[in-house]
Amino acid sequence: MSTFLLASDIKRFTASSSSATSLLFSSRLRASTTSSSRTSASRFFTALQPRQRSYISASSSLRNIHREGGQIVPTDQPPCPVRTRPAIVYRDCLSRGTVQTAGDFNVQKDIEELHKAFKSADDKVITEILSRRTNEQRQVIAKAYEEKYNTNLHAELQVDLSEPYRKAVSGLLEEPFIFLAKHVRHTLKSSALAHKDVPLLEILYPLEPQEVDAIVQAYKEEYNQELEEEIGKQISGVFKDILIRLVTGKRSTHRKVDVPQRNKDLEYLRNNTAERLQSADDDVIRIFGNSSLPQLSSIFLNFDKAGGCTLQEFIRNSGMEARSKEAFGVMVKSVYNRTGFYADQLHMAIKDISSGNDDKLMRIVISRSEIDLENIKDFFQSAYSHTLTDFVYDDTSGDYRNLLLRLVGM
């Protein structure tokens, strides 16, 4: 595992990150060298092809990358092996999920116990089984359940269960990209959201192009509509153009940084006002809509070398309107430090629970539980001085709380 951790990378990371992030990375480094079990295949890059869709060509687009504190950074080291598994898309060798494959998985036993639990609305049994199974195993359970009892598991959720709990269990039973496609749909159709660009960027921008493509295909399959057209109807301005680039596959999948182009883009960003960045400028749309994630990470990492401030600070202190600051902030942080981005998103989501909005909390916990939720938890504790478990326990209740606590790894 140490072949992925270059001394020059660690030095650069330490110089450009907060002390909390550096501590987190150090703890990951120690963990990677002290436990041989953590080099197992469960930590390798994985590819998802639910329902036998041709969503992803797993080996064609993955090259030599690793992540520094959530950043995607190209290396000359060999990549982790690739394997196929229907629950997760891509994760690097330092990513740690909270939900692992159940080694004692017995589908017949699970469906019989679930059948009894649904009849008696026994949320404890439902939680114990579904929170301890990967999405791939849940799909096996759902199929076997329907074959044996001639009813869909989603239909069984109409028993006497609380609404938040029912929604969370339903989310666990969805295939991952359908789950995210439904959250995209909810965002687009929500009358409570005056502006939908920032919430959509929160969902889509941190993801690999192949992941976004899978969501687009799932959206079309579920709703018989093109996501590009829906975005075009609901959103305007520069962020509409960037989102359309993402959902139409315009973001590059190259893993190697184009250094000359990066330098040109850096010069452009440094020499333009923040106000111009929020206009529908072709170069802004190209940089943020077409550049690969490693390319963007390199741009953001190198922005402060001449200007003396990071791109995040430049945006935050600019004269941009508040919504543009928020949108650009999402794009920059979700690439520059994905782990920290999701930790911040969870913190905001928990604060929103009091207003009756727990969709973001549910989406992140479920969608990241098999990928990197352990890493996110570590960063969360470093940033907010309390564990994610503490926050979830204090701000949720009942069966919903118990399910979330199981998923976050209590």
The pLDDT tens digits for 56-68 are: 333 233 323 334 4
State residue 281's pLDDT score.
86
Question: Which has the higher per-residue pLDDT, 22 or 100?
Answer: 100
Q: Is-contact 199 164, C-beta < 8 A?
A: no
Domain shared by 244 and 323, yes or no = yes
State residue 276's pLDDT score.
78
State residue 177's pLDDT score.
97
| Alpha-carbon distances of 214 from 176, 295, 381, rounded to whole Å | 10, 22, 32
Q: Is residue 267 part of a domain?
A: yes
Check pLDDT > 90 for residue 287. yes
Domain shared by 312 and 250, yes or no = yes
Angle at 359 between CA 356 and CA 361, to 5 degrees: 100
Write the burial class of residue 155 (CB in 10 Å: 0-12 exposed, 13-18 middle, 19+ buried).
exposed
Domain boundary among 284, 316, 336: 336
Residue 117 CA to residue 157 CA, distance in Å, equals: 11
The pLDDT tens digits for 95-115 are: 899 999 999 999 999 999 999
- Among 39-53, 82-96, 231-245, whose mean pLDDT is lowest? 39-53
Q: Is-contact 222 238, C-beta < 8 A?
A: no
Split into its structural domains, the chain has a count of 3
For residue 108, the surrounding DSSP H or E stretch is helix 107-120
Check pLDDT > 90 for residue 191. no
Confidence band, pLDDT 50/70/90 cuts, at residue 153: very high
* CA gyration radius, the chain: 21
Q: Which two tokens stand for residue 32?
A: 């990677």
Q: Is residue 171 part of a domain?
A: no
- Quote the percentage of the chain above a pLDDT of 70: 76
The pLDDT tens digits for 160-179 are: 888 999 999 999 999 999 99
Domain boundary among 57, 84, 111: 84
Domain shared by 282 and 309, yes or no = yes
Greatest Cα pair distance, the chain, in angstroms, is 66
Q: Is residue 130 part of a domain?
A: no
State residue 6's pLDDT score.
32
Arithmetic mean of pLDDT, 229-236 = 94
Complete DSSP assignment for 165-226? HHHHHHHHHS-HHHHHHHHHHHHHH-TT-S--HHHHHHHHTTS-HHHHHHHHHHHHHHHSS-
Check pLDDT > 80 for residue 297. yes
Check pLDDT > 60 for residue 285. yes
Task: Read off the DSSP letter of residue 355.
Answer: G
State residue 401's pLDDT score.
96
Q: Which two tokens stand for residue 342?
A: 């999701």
Average model confidence (pLDDT) across the chain: 80
Q: Is residue 230 part of a domain?
A: yes
Complete DSSP assignment for 318-341? SS--HHHHHHHHHHHHHHHTHHHH
Q: Is residue 185 part of a domain?
A: no
Domain shared by 326 and 209, yes or no = yes
Confidence band, pLDDT 50/70/90 cuts, at residue 207: very high
Domain shared by 299 and 351, yes or no = no
pTM of the predicted model as reported, rounded to 2 decimal places: 0.79
State residue 23's pLDDT score.
35
Domain shared by 206 and 271, yes or no = yes
Domain shared by 347 and 326, yes or no = no
Determine the structural domain holding residue 203 and report its residue range: 196-336
Domain shared by 230 and 354, yes or no = no
Domain shared by 346 and 299, yes or no = no
Domain boundary among 84, 113, 137: 84
State residue 48's pLDDT score.
37
Residue 327 CA to residue 345 CA, distance in Å, equals: 13
Residue 336 CA to residue 371 CA, distance in Å, equals: 18
State residue 60's pLDDT score.
30
Domain shared by 201 and 330, yes or no = yes
The pLDDT tens digits for 331-377 are: 999 999 999 999 999 999 998 887 767 899 999 999 999 999 999 99
Confidence band, pLDDT 50/70/90 cuts, at residue 307: low
Residue 74 carries which side chain, given as an amino acid letter?
P
Arithmetic mean of pLDDT, 61-85 = 37
Check pLDDT > 60 for residue 391. yes
Question: Which has the higher per-residue pLDDT, 7 or 401?
Answer: 401
Domain shared by 397 and 273, yes or no = no
Angle at 389 between CA 387 and CA 390, to 5 degrees: 70
Q: Is residue 189 part of a domain?
A: no
State residue 308's pLDDT score.
76
